[in-house]
Amino acid sequence: MSRQYRLIDKWLSEVDHALRTASSRNNRGQRANPAEEKGAEATELSDEERTLAAGLMRVNHSGEIAAQALYKGQSLLARNKALWEHLQEAADEEVDHLAWCEDRLRELGSQPSRLAPFWYAGSYTMGALAGLAGDKWSLGFIEETEKQVTAHLESHLERLPEKDLRSRQIIEQMREDEMEHAESAHKAGAAPLPEPIKRAMTGIAKVMTTTSFRW
Ligand SMILES: [Fe+2]
Ligand SMILES: [Fe+2]
């Protein structure tokens, strides 16, 4: 295959992944949904509790859409193969998270954010920029992102209705995985990001979480 065809092929597969991830309601991962696996009881929630739980799960779902795009964007420009494989492994676990959040939103009678295509496009660009900066920065970006996601998940565990066991089981497993993703990026040689970049990331995350909660 000529170089030009390989490039076109690569781009078509990137676009295909973007469309499938951002528009699908049936993403499927490899691991079982923790709520199913641990047999978490489906408890009766009031309208208010259901709205809160759905809002938080929608925020988490948007975060997972963004994670897919970040990892894809970074993989595109990763310079060494070991790093690419590392990113691929983490991206596969993020598909599980995406699928679990979708399942829970469906159970709550709700749906993912309508802005999902924007989250994907913006995050893909940010991932590609991190990749362009070089592998150690790309890993630093993963470590910081995963730490911020872990903090969000912890705050969700505090805000979720106590009796919403199914959402809780999912979030607890996600939190464990995201901590591991941060740890493995650190071990792989992540460079600590400059404070202004960290603050910018917090600001962008704030926009995404606030809007996804409602839309
Ligand atoms: Fe995740
Ligand atoms: Fe992660």
Quote the ligand 2 centre to 65 CA distance (angstroms): 11
Say if 31 falls within a structural domain: no
Q: How far is the CA of 68 from the centre of ligand 1 (A)?
A: 8
CA of 45 to the centre of ligand 1 (A): 25
Q: Which ligand is nearest to the CA of 64?
A: 1
Going residue by residue through the chain (215 aa), what tens digit of pLDDT does each one get? 676 766 677 667 777 777 667 766 677 778 899 988 787 777 888 899 999 999 999 999 999 999 889 888 888 887 777 777 777 777 888 889 999 999 999 999 999 999 999 999 999 998 999 888 888 898 999 999 999 999 999 999 999 999 999 999 999 999 999 999 999 889 988 999 999 999 998 999 899 999 999 89
- The tokens describing 37, both together, are 């696996």
5 CA distance to ligand 1 centroid (A)? 33
If you measure from the C-alpha of residue 4 to the centroid of ligand 2, how many angstroms do you get, rounded to a whole number? 33
Domain that holds residue 70: 48-214
CA–centroid distance, 90 to ligand 2, in Å, is 6
The confidence score (pLDDT) of residue 213 equals 92
Radius of gyration of the chain measured on its C-alpha atoms:
17
SS (H, E, C) 140-195: HHHHHHHHHHHHHHHHHHHHCCCCCHHHHHHHHHHHHHHHHHHHHHHHCCCCCCCH
Ligand 1 centroid–CA 98 distance in Å is: 7
Q: Which pLDDT value is given to residue 154?
A: 96
> What is the pLDDT at residue 44?
85
CATH number for 138:
1.20.1260.10
First to last CA, the chain: 44
Burial grade of 37 (CB within 10 A; 0-12, 13-18, 19 or more): exposed
> Per the domain annotation, does 206 fall within a domain?
yes
Ligand nearest to the CA of 61: 1
What is the number of domains present in the chain? 1
pLDDT for the residue 23: 67
Ligand nearest to the CA of 98: 1
Q: What one-letter code names the amino acid at 88?
A: Q
Going from the Cα of 3 to the center of ligand 1, the distance in angstroms, rounded, reads 34
Half-sphere exposure of 65 (CA within 13 A, CB side): 31
Structural domain includes residue 40: no
Is the separation of the CB atoms in 11 and 72 below 8 Å? no
Q: What per-residue confidence (pLDDT) applies to 134?
A: 87
For residue 7, what pLDDT is reported?
A: 66
Q: Are 87 and 71 in contact (CB under 8 A)?
A: yes
- Is 12 part of any domain? no
Cα distances (Å, whole numbers) of residue 140 to 7, 132, 149, 187 = 28, 13, 14, 10
**Domain membership flag for residue 30:** no
